Structures are given as structure tokens and as C-alpha cells.
């Protein structure tokens, strides 16, 4: 949580942290900006002090919403610096030198935020050399802001829950939309007699999202038959919607610049083959088994072990026995959820992952079984929140039902 | 253009380029992936050879659309490497060592793609030390892929033009939507007698975008009165729409993961004050003056000089005479447009900007005059394309008209 940042800086022996870049695709910036609708800037956080935000003057009204100490970047006249140094890299180093000197930033300083990798390499090397009083630091994993973001406060959970409610509505309305179509020879039809396709359903999903003020910047998964058997297949827009063919519908929307929700349901219109019904039941039971294993202090990697053992016991192949498996259970059980669809905590089943589950963690539980050659896959995904008292809540208010009656 | 990449590598003395990260907010990745709907991966381009794409097996169907030589990353069993090294940074270095060795990548290698700045600093330092045959290189400006992207081929221009047509439709439909409301005491009203607000109009804009398969990941600017006088103010959702108050409406949508368009119109419902009408005419004349200055070989920075001189001649204050100006003309004239809203070419009026305009460039021309204290701002923004023959095209098919009759 935000209130942990000073403690996390102390643990890391950081005197200051500098976070910069555009907000787009940069969730640590979005976190510190608290939803302020600016395009980017530089956040400078000294340990024990209110963070400062170097903002662009053409965004001065939006910058106020950050709650940070505001510094108009025009004050440093970057263009004049650039004219003087003649080189953009030297100019940026000089800009930082002036800003850090004025704020009296010294010692161990961590640098964060998304930027081009090679450019960051050059810039941070140059800065480290140019500033004798500053030791440039980076973090490769468990970065300060990533760790702070991993535990959500009540307001953040409330926002995730709100998006969750709307996500459930969109999924239910999508099913209702499909049910409104007539059927001929196992295929859903549009009014003009042509097949209802995935592309048409995706347009409807986009409409349903927009109606609710949601966006899906990473794109919805709506994959039928074989494609549902490949976990990240987004679905082929031209494919017709047919009865008895499982559809993996994975929706991960957010409000503009805000918190994501993430929910998967697998549905089969009209009927489902006995094999698919059995697999569905086993995946649903696995969700419950994994949720039962969640408690404060449990190692995150245990959840993946729980899912693998559960499936192996029921006779399915998993990545635990074959890391290159493309049939059976072939991915991770969970990921943290917040301002990014995938964030901390991480659940890799490797010894270096010593992460334990904590109050405030919000994450998915999403087992699946995949049989592309047999023409189907099944995944069910709920979102879990561990509250301050350690009570485990399922934030997904949507029933699990494979077969949709027509 | 993509076909320039080998030449650009040669100019930079690069034997190979490595591009990685998530696609979100990472337009160089989107460019190389050619719209393939994968979440990320690693692109390895050796000079003179077809690029390779290290993809995630759960995205194997989508990866085919990249047109690159495909390598399933499961082959390297990253989890086993991580178990062995025990440290994620060492594991990533070892993964890259194996991949680069297998592809026989040696010599000067540039690294690109968005990632956390501090993490990139650590990773590229470690990689540079670990691989004796590889010299790690970064580019701070005019990066290989940025420069390739700056000139668009016919297919890319066609996509931008299509999004442009739809953007124009959305703007026209938004105006039509506002006109359908009745007026009382200079304020537009909803059916229930409450004022039509910016929030309601923005919901309608989102609906109009979704209907056309467009998304606006960076959010629309729809700012009235004072807020229109602050260039990046997004507009206050609770503000009512009133007659005679200029609205700055700046829309920059794209298809999912695709090319952006960017268009601004300033409108005033019912009537406009004489001062605003004069300012509008001067801004519109400035668009024409700047477009007239565009030709192959012209330095990009000349466009900003043209705009500043034009406005100064007509008696307005600009950033040329006062870099910290918050009234008058206070920003840049243009930015390149493509898979990012802001990309190369850049138009800063600084000596280090030696960029000249070239066939294939697509960029905005967007002068504005801002008077927040007087309660208004005016901006007009069109998109320009220089074709292969050097002919200048305006891709914006939308009339410029300040006053909307009710």
C-alpha cells in the first residue's frame, strides 16, 4: 500500500526514488498519479517526505489531482538546456542534475518507470557518472512501487469490485445477446441468415463495455472450439458461433487508466459433450481447491503446486510433469491484479519465489484444461481478495455454468 | 519504413537488434509484430536476415501473424534456468546467452523496447559483462525502430486514413448529438431538465467510438471555457454545455493495437464572441500557413518557427518570445503520428533537431491560442501526409467551423 512506501525504501536502503515516463503502459506512474489524467512527468520521492511531481504546464489543472507537491517543469526551461548542451542525452542529465540538486536528493536513488531499454541504459549510466552525490540504483524484481501496489487498500478494492460487477454484467449480457439469435443446423444466425460470428459478438462486447464506461486495452479473448484450446488465442473473428462448441470468454477491462478486473467463463450453447462436462467439473473443482488453499502466510507458489497436484490426481497432464506440455494444464494458476492485468504477487513455482500471501493481495485463480486437437479448452477464472483480517473473498459475482440453454 | 531497417542498422553499425517487452505501450513491438495479437515476446533481428520472434506457446496461433521466423520460448525452459540460477536477473541473462548463441548473434547489438528503467539498467549491464562476444548498445534518440516507423508505407497510410474517416464521423456525430438537445438559459438540457454535461457527452463519444471499432486509450479532450484554455485539460465531467462557450474537442483514437488518428476542432454552440471568432480565424490561417511551409527537405523545426512568427506578426504572445508563456501560443506545432500518438518526426525548435521532412512522414499541424483567464482556448489540428512523390496531403476530412447553429 502507499503507506508502506517509506518502509519499503528503508528496507531497500533507498534515500530517494525517481519514477518517470508516460502514464500509458506504466502502472507505477498511474499509481503515484492517483488517477490524475496527465500524460506523464517525473515523480521524485524522498524517504519520509511527500513526493514531488514535475508536471507539464499544459497539464497543470490535471496535475493537482495527484496530491503531490507540484513543480512546474517549465521552470527548468528544458529547451534552453537543450540549446546549450546541444545533445538530448546531456540535456536530460543536466535537467535531472538541477532538479535533484534543488530538492537536495543525494545518496542511493532508485530509478523506475517504463522507458526504452537501451535509452535507459545510456541515461542511467550517464547520470551515475555525472552526479557524484548520487548512486543510481535499479531493482530487477520486487521493485519498490510494484511491492507497494501488490497490497490494495479499501478504496482500491472498492474500485476493483465495481469494475468486477460491471464485468459480470457484460459477460451475462453477451450470453443474453447470443441467446437472442435463432439457430439453423447448429449455427446461430443473424437476421439476414448469415452466421453470427465471433467478430459480431466482439463488437457487441465492445458496445456493452462502452455503455458502462469500461475499456479493454488488452483485448478480449472469445475463442471457440480449437482456439479455446490455446490459452491466449483471442478467437478468429470470422468463425461462426455453433452449438455444443465450448467458448472460452476471458474479459479484462478497466475504467480509463484505472483498475482492471479479470474474469473467465467457459460456455457451451445448447449442450456440451460428456467429456467436456467432466473436464468443466474438474476445472471448477480445482478453482475451489485452490481457493481453499489460500491463507495469509501461505507461499504463493503453493497455489500452482495445489493446482498441478489436483489435476494430476484426476489423471490430467500438467506443466509440473512436462514443462513444455501443450495439452492438459499448461499455464500459471494466478497473477496479481490491479492497475496492470498482471502484477505482483507472482505465483511461479520456483525456489526463488519466496512471496507469501498477505492481507490486501488481489489476484486471480484461473485453472484450465486445454485439448486443441480435440477441439476445446476450458478455463474458469475468479478474482480473490484477502482482507485486512485475512479473510478470503471471491470478488467474482458470476455463476459458473457450462451449458447455456437456448 | 520496414524495408529501411537493414540500412538503418548499417548506418548505426549494428550487427543485430533485440526488441522485447509487453506490446501494451510499446509501439516498436507493435510495429514488428504487424498487428499480431500477442501480449509480448522477444524479437531478434540480425542485419540482412528475417527477424526471429521468441513467442509464448500459449500464443502460438497469434504469433504466426507476425511473419517472422518463429521460435517457441518453451524450448529454453526458462523455469528450469531459474531453478538452476536461483535468481531472476541471472536467469534472464542466461536465457539471452543461450538464445543469442543459438542464433549466432555477435558484435554490436542494440537493445530496444519498453521496460522498467532501473531493471533495464541492471539487466543490460549484466548482459554486457556476461557475453564476451556481444557489445550491448542503446540509442537515446533517433532509435532504429523509431526512425523506421517515422516513414509510413501505403498500407500504413491507408489504415491511418481509415481511422481518420471514422474519427471525423465521431466528431460530426458528437456535434449532432449536442444539437438534438433543447436549450434553456443558454444551457443544453437533458430530457429530465438537468444540464447536458461534459461527462454525458464523453459517454456518447465512447459509444460512437465503440460502434466503429475504435478505442481511445489515452482519453479524449473535451474541454469548455477556461479548461479549453489549458491545452491538455481533459475537461471537467460535471461542467454543463453552454452556448457561446468555446469547446476544444481533441480526439485521438485507434483500432485495437493499431494506428492512431488525431484531430482537434474548436466549436461554439449557437454563437461566439467577436474576440473568439477573430482568434479562431487566426488559428485557422496559421494551419494553412504551416501546411504551406511543408515540403520534402524542409527542417522540421521550421514549422514551429513558422507558427511562432505567424502568431507574433498578428500580435499574439508565443513560446518563442517567452518559453514559460501560459497565454497565447504555448506548445509545439506538430508531432509524428502512427502506432503512438506522439512519435517521430519531432519538431522541437532546437539546433540539435536536424530532422528534415521526408516522403512517408505523417504528422499533425495543430496551432492553438489559449486564454484561460478570459475563459477560452482555440486549437485546430489536422493530419498531414507527404507521399512518395513529395506531394502534401491533408488526411483530415472535416470542415473547420467554429459556430454550430442550433
- Per CB-CB distance under 8 Å, the chain A contacts of B234 are 37, 62
On the question of pLDDT at B352 being above 90, the answer is no
How confident is the model over A357-387, as pLDDT tens digits? 999 999 999 999 999 999 999 999 999 999 9
Quick check: A390 contacting B, CB < 8 Å?
no
> Contact, A47 vs A137, CB < 8 A?
no
Tell me how far apart the alpha carbons of residues B88 and B282 are, in angstroms, rounded to a whole number: 58
Subunit contact A115:B118, Cβ cutoff 8 A: no
Residues constituting chain B: 406
DSSP code, position A226: G
Tell me how far apart the alpha carbons of residues A258 and A212 are, in angstroms, rounded to a whole number: 14
Subunit contact B25:A26, Cβ cutoff 8 A: yes
Q: What average pLDDT score do residues A346-359 get?
A: 93
SS3 A238: coil
Residues constituting chain A: 406
How would residue A351 be classed by pLDDT, with cut points 50, 70 and 90? Answer: confident
Question: How far A359 CA lies from chain B's nearest CA (Å)?
Answer: 25
Q: Do A2-148 and A151-404 show the same overall fold?
A: no
- φ, ψ of residue B187 to 5 degrees: the values are -115, 135
Question: How far B255 CA lies from chain A's nearest CA (Å)?
Answer: 10
On the question of pLDDT at A58 being above 90, the answer is no
Other CB atoms within 10 Å distance of the CB of residue B172: 15
Which residue among B61, B112, B211 places its CB closest to the CB of A227? Answer: B61
Quick check: A203 contacting B, CB < 8 Å?
yes
What percentage of residues in chain A have a pLDDT greater than 70?
100
How confident is the model over A289-341, as pLDDT tens digits? 999 999 999 999 999 999 999 999 999 999 999 888 889 999 999 999 999 99
Residue (of B16, B41, B49) closest to B144 by Cα position: B16
Residue A224 CA, distance from chain mean position: 24
Q: What are the structural domain ranges in chain B? A: 2-148, 151-404
Q: Which residue is closest to A203 within chain B, CA to CA?
A: B213
Higher-confidence residue: A219 or A170?
A170
Strand A107-112 relative to strand A134-137, pairing: parallel
What percentage of residues in chain B have a pLDDT greater than 70?
100
Quick check: B204 contacting A, CB < 8 Å?
no
How confident is the model over A24-35, as pLDDT tens digits? 889 999 999 998
List of residues 6+ apart from B363 with CB closer than 8 A: B334, B335, B336, B337, B345, B347, B383, B384
On the question of pLDDT at A201 being above 90, the answer is yes
Residue (of B130, B117, B403, B151) closest to B280 by Cα position: B403
Residue (of B38, B32, B78, B35) closest to B55 by Cα position: B38
Subunit contact A117:B113, Cβ cutoff 8 A: yes
How distant, in Å, are the alpha carbons of A82, B134, B188 from that of A190? Answer: 60, 58, 39
Quick check: B390 contacting A, CB < 8 Å?
no
Tell me how far apart the alpha carbons of residues A8 and B140 are, in angstroms, rounded to a whole number: 31
Q: Which residue has the cell 537543450?
A: A82
Strand-by-strand arrangement of the A69-72 sheet? A69-72, A52-55, A40-46, A16-22, A107-112, A134-137
On the question of pLDDT at B61 being above 90, the answer is no
How confident is the model over A206-265, as pLDDT tens digits? 999 988 989 988 889 999 999 999 998 899 999 999 999 999 999 999 998 899 999 999
Residue B392 CA, distance from chain mean position: 20
The pLDDT assigned to A345 comes to 97
- Per CB-CB distance under 8 Å, the chain B contacts of A254 are none
* Grid coordinates of B353: 533537431
Question: How far A391 CA lies from chain B's nearest CA (Å)?
Answer: 31
Give A 265-294 residues with CB within 8 A of chain B. none
Which residue among A139, A210, A323 places its CB closest to the CB of B118? Answer: A139
Per the omega criterion (within 30 degrees of 0), is the bond before A345 cis? yes
Tell me how far apart the alpha carbons of residues B57 and B38 are, in angstroms, rounded to a whole number: 11
Tell me how far apart the alpha carbons of residues B367 and A253 are, in angstroms, rounded to a whole number: 35
* Angle CA A61–A63–A66, to nearest 5: 130
DSSP code, position B50: P
- Per CB-CB distance under 8 Å, the chain A contacts of B77 are 323-324
Fold of A2-148: Creatine Amidinohydrolase; Chain A, domain 1 (3.40.350)
Which residue among B57, B219, B331 places its CB closest to the CB of A256? Answer: B219
Q: What average pLDDT score do residues B212-222 get?
A: 91
Helix axes A88-102, A117-130, angle to 10 degrees: 50
Q: How would you label B326-348 residue by residue, b for 16+ Cβ within 10 Å and e otherwise?
A: bbbbbbbbbbbbbbbbbbbbbbb
Subunit contact B25:A20, Cβ cutoff 8 A: no
Q: Which residue has the cell 528534415?
A: B356
On the question of pLDDT at A11 being above 90, the answer is yes
Give B 58-87 residues with CB within 8 A of chain A. 58-62, 74-75, 77, 79-80, 82-83, 86-87
Q: Which residue is closest to B127 within chain A, CA to CA?
A: A121
Q: Which of B12, B114, B223 to mutate to test the interface with A (most CBs of A within 10 A)?
A: B114
> Contact, A390 vs A375, CB < 8 A?
no
- Per CB-CB distance under 8 Å, the chain A contacts of B28 are 116
On the question of pLDDT at B24 being above 90, the answer is no
How distant, in Å, are the alpha carbons of A79, A200, A240, A243, A268 from that of A185? Answer: 68, 19, 12, 9, 16
Quick check: B27 contacting A, CB < 8 Å?
no
The pLDDT assigned to B81 comes to 94
How distant, in Å, are the alpha carbons of A76, A171, A172, A182, A404 from that of A178? Answer: 57, 11, 10, 9, 10
CA neighbours closer than 13 Å in the CB half-sphere of residue B339:
25
Using CA atoms of B282, B286, B287, B289 in order, give the dihedral in degrees to the nearest 10. Answer: 140
Tell me how far apart the alpha carbons of residues A295 and A40 are, in angstroms, rounded to a whole number: 38
Q: Is the pTM of this model over 0.90?
A: yes
How confident is the model over B335-344, as pLDDT tens digits? 999 999 999 9
Quick check: B373 contacting A, CB < 8 Å?
no
> Contact, B270 vs B405, CB < 8 A?
yes
Which residue among A112, A143, A232 places its CB closest to the CB of B62? Answer: A232
SS3 B321: coil
Question: How far A18 CA lies from chain B's nearest CA (Å)?
Answer: 10
Q: What is the ipTM of this complex?
A: 0.94
Subunit contact A58:B113, Cβ cutoff 8 A: no
Which residue among A113, A216, A231 places its CB closest to the CB of B117? Answer: A113
Q: Which residue has the cell 543536466?
A: A94
How would residue A79 be classed by pLDDT, with cut points 50, 70 and 90? Answer: confident
Give A 135-154 residues with CB within 8 A of chain B. 136-141, 143
Q: Count residue pairs from A and B with Cβ separation < 8 A.
A: 230
Question: How far B3 CA lies from chain A's nearest CA (Å)?
Answer: 22
DSSP code, position A51: P
How distant, in Å, are the alpha carbons of A225, A312, B53, B111, B144 from that of B3? Answer: 38, 50, 18, 19, 12
List of residues 6+ apart from A77 with CB closer than 8 A: B323, B324
The pLDDT assigned to B35 comes to 87
* Angle CA B31–B37–B40, to nearest 5: 70
How would residue B401 be classed by pLDDT, with cut points 50, 70 and 90? Answer: very high
Give A 295-324 residues with CB within 8 A of chain B. 323-324
How confident is the model over B318-339, as pLDDT tens digits? 999 988 888 999 999 999 999 9
* Grid coordinates of A35: 488517477
SS3 A364: strand
Looking at domain A151-404, which of 3.40.50.300, 3.90.230.10, 3.40.50.970, 3.40.50.720 is its CATH number?
Answer: 3.90.230.10
SS3 B16: strand
Give A 327-356 residues with CB within 8 A of chain B. 330-331, 348-352
- Per CB-CB distance under 8 Å, the chain A contacts of B58 are 230-232, 330-331
Quick check: B210 contacting A, CB < 8 Å?
yes
* Grid coordinates of A117: 531499454
> Contact, B174 vs B201, CB < 8 A?
yes
Residue B183 CA, distance from chain mean position: 37
Tell me how far apart the alpha carbons of residues B37 and A250 are, in angstroms, rounded to a whole number: 15
Amino acid at each position: 500500500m502507499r503507506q508502506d512506501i517509506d518502509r519499503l525504501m528503508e528496507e531497500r536502503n533507498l534515500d530517494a526514488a525517481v519514477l518517470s515516463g508516460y502514464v500509458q503502459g506504466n502502472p507505477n506512474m498511474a499509481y503515484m498519479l492517483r488517477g490524475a489524467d496527465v500524460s506523464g512527468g517525473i515523480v521524485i520521492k524522498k524517504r519520509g517526505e511527500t513526493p514531488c511531481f514535475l508536471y507539464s504546464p499544459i497539464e497543470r489543472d490535471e496535475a493537482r489531482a495527484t496530491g503531490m507537491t507540484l513543480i512546474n517543469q517549465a521552470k527548468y526551461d528544458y529547451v534552453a538546456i537543450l540549446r546549450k548542451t546541444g545533445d538530448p542525452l546531456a540535456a536530460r542529465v543536466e535537467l535531472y542534475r538541477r532538479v535533484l540538486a534543488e530538492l537536495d536528493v543525494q545518496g542511493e536513488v532508485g530509478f523506475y518507470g517504463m522507458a526504452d531499454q537501451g535509452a535507459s541504459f545510456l541515461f542511467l549510466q550517464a547520470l551515475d557518472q555525472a552526479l557524484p552525490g548520487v548512486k543510481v540504483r535499479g531493482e530487477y524484481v520486487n521493485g519498490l512501487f510494484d511491492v507497494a501496489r501488490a497490497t490494495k487498500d479499501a478504496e482500491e478494492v472498492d474500485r476493483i469490485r465495481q469494475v468486477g460487477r460491471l464485468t459480470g454484467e457484460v459477460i451475462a449480457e453477451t450470453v443474453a445477446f447470443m441467446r437472442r439469435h435463432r439457430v439453423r443446423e447448429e449455427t446461430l444466425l443473424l437476421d439476414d441468415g448469415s452466421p453470427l460470428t465471433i467478430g459480431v459478438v466482439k463488437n457487441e462486447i465492445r458496445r456493452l463495455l462502452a455503455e458502462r464506461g469500461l475499456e479493454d486495452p488488452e483485448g478480449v479473448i472469445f475463442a471457440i472450439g480449437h482456439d479455446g484450446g490455446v490459452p491466449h488465442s483471442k478467437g478468429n473473428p470470422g468463425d461462426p458461433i455453433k452449438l455444443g462448441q465450448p467458448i472460452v470468454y476471458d474479459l479484462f477491462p478497466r475504467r480509463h487508466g484505472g483498475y482492471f478486473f479479470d474474469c473467465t467463463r467457459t460456455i457451451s450453447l445448447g449442450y456440451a459433450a460428456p467429456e467436456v462436462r467432466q473436464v468443466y467439473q474438474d476445472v471448477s473443482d480445482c478453482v475451489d481447491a485452490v481457493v481453499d488453499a489460500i491463507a495469509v502466510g501461505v507461499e504463493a507458489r503453493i497455489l500452482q503446486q495445489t493446482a498441478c497436484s489436483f489435476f494430476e490426481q484426476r489423471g490430467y497432464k500438467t506443466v509440473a510433469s512436462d514443462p513444455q506440455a501443450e495439452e492438459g494444464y499448461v499455464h500459471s494458476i494466478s497473477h496479481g491484479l490491479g492497475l496492470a492485468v498482471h502484477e505482483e504477487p507472482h505465483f511461479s513455482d520456483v525456489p526463488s519465489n519466496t512471496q507469501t500471501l498477505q492481507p490486501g493481495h488481489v489476484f486471480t485463480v484461473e485453472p484450465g484444461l486445454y485439448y486443441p486437437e480435440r477441439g476445446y479448452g476450458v478455463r474458469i477464472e475468479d478474482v480473490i481478495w484477502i482482507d485486512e483480517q485475512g479473510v478470503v473473498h471471491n470478488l467474482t459475482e458470476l455463476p459458473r455454468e457450462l451449458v447455456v440453454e437456448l
